[in-house]
Amino acid sequence: MKEIDLEKVFMFLEPGNVAMLSTAFGGKFNVMTFSWHMVLDFTGRFACVIGPWDYTYEALVKTKECVVSVPTVELIKKVVNIGSCSGNEIDKFKKFSLTPLPAREVKAPLIGECIANIECRVSDHIKRHDIFVLDAVAAWGNPNVKDKRKFHAVGNGTFYADGEHIDLKDMMLKKPDVGDPQF
Amino acid sequence: MKEIDLEKVFMFLEPGNVAMLSTAFGGKFNVMTFSWHMVLDFTGRFACVIGPWDYTYEALVKTKECVVSVPTVELIKKVVNIGSCSGNEIDKFKKFSLTPLPAREVKAPLIGECIANIECRVSDHIKRHDIFVLDAVAAWGNPNVKDKRKFHAVGNGTFYADGEHIDLKDMMLKKPDVGDPQF
């Protein structure tokens, strides 16, 4: 894995792609699937919706840290299945043959098969809306992922993979060019 | 425009596509582009980031209502340009030849060229993160849009249009089938 600058982290979530969130709690790893997230600023801060109905909730509240991982279409069936069962019943890393790798700043694991892994600390919890605010503290890119298309949930069990890439950088000259999200 | 059930509204934003937000304030319409949004539940409630640096901010705080519109790739250049200038200086509906249509529940306008328009009321404002919570109160679909591909911002001036459509409904039998986001 190659390190990603924190100011580029938002590029891995701003497209609104499906992501996964891993925790380490009670002597075990767990992972969930989510797509209700949004960028909050350009520092690597973002928000997501995780409620008491999620098994991950207690781990997030008590450890205040996690890893957010970005899967690509190579993993889509695993990712959907991960979102359809609970870590309360099974060891999802084992069941879905995901490779947990040690993170640098948090105890939650990176996922070896994902194109990007973002180590995060919980900096706020807005309970009335089940919103967690996560701050990236380190991020890693996996240059070995072949099909780099991320994917997006429509919400009815269907998804869109990234399609045509449209470059309109010339129309956005007012904004500083932060480069491509390469690693 | 055909009415969209409120319980299907989340499907037009869950994919994380670029959207627009219109207001009516001070005797004029305005519209901004945004992609920092997320679904909060299945009722048509979602969150977005809009701060005092956005000209729209004052309109949203004072009128507590808006329309969120979903553009497709047919409009991508207009949408990017709309995001690169301020309504403080120009009438964006006129400059970009957008067709404002009357909404049913709010004073902000629908946008005739968009594939979906969601009339919203502001139900919360979490100032410490510049998050607004919006509740859909009516929604409208435009069956005349030909190229229905939504698009996603990478954040560096490039975008991905929706590509391959992947149907995994069979893997999500636990969830109630809410149907396709058709209108």
- Contacts of residue B81 in chain A, CB cutoff 8 Å? 171
Interface test with B, best of A14, A85, A123 (most B CBs within 10 A): A14
Instruction: Write the residue in A47, A76, A124 that is nearest to B38 by C-beta.
Output: A47
> To the nearest whole percent, how much of chain A has pLDDT over 90?
92
For chain A, what are the domain ranges?
2-150
Neighbouring residues of B176: CB distance < 8 A, sequence distance ≥ 6: none
Task: Tell me which DSSP letter residue A83 carries.
Answer: T
Instruction: Tell me how far CA of residue B119 lies from CA of A63, B104, B107, B140, in angstroms.
Output: 39, 8, 9, 8
At residue A178, the pLDDT reads 67
What residues in chain A have per-residue pLDDT under 70?
173-178, 183
Nearest-CA neighbor of A20 among A89, A87, A90? A87
Interface test with A, best of B7, B9, B38 (most A CBs within 10 A): B38
> What are the two backbone dihedrals, phi and then psi, of residue B95, each rounded to the nearest 5 degrees?
-60, -40
At residue A155, the pLDDT reads 95
Provide the CATH topology of domain A2-150: Pnp Oxidase; Chain A (2.30.110)
Q: How far is A79 from chain B (nearest CA, A)?
A: 11
ipTM associated with this complex? 0.95
Per residue in A129-181, pLDDT (tens digit) is 999 999 999 999 999 999 999 999 999 999 999 999 999 999 886 666 667 77
Per residue in B6-53, pLDDT (tens digit) is 999 999 999 999 999 999 999 999 999 999 999 999 999 999 999 999
Q: How far is A10 from chain B (nearest CA, A)?
A: 8
Q: How many residue contacts between A and B have a Cβ separation below 8 Å?
A: 201
CATH class entry, domain B2-172:
mainly beta
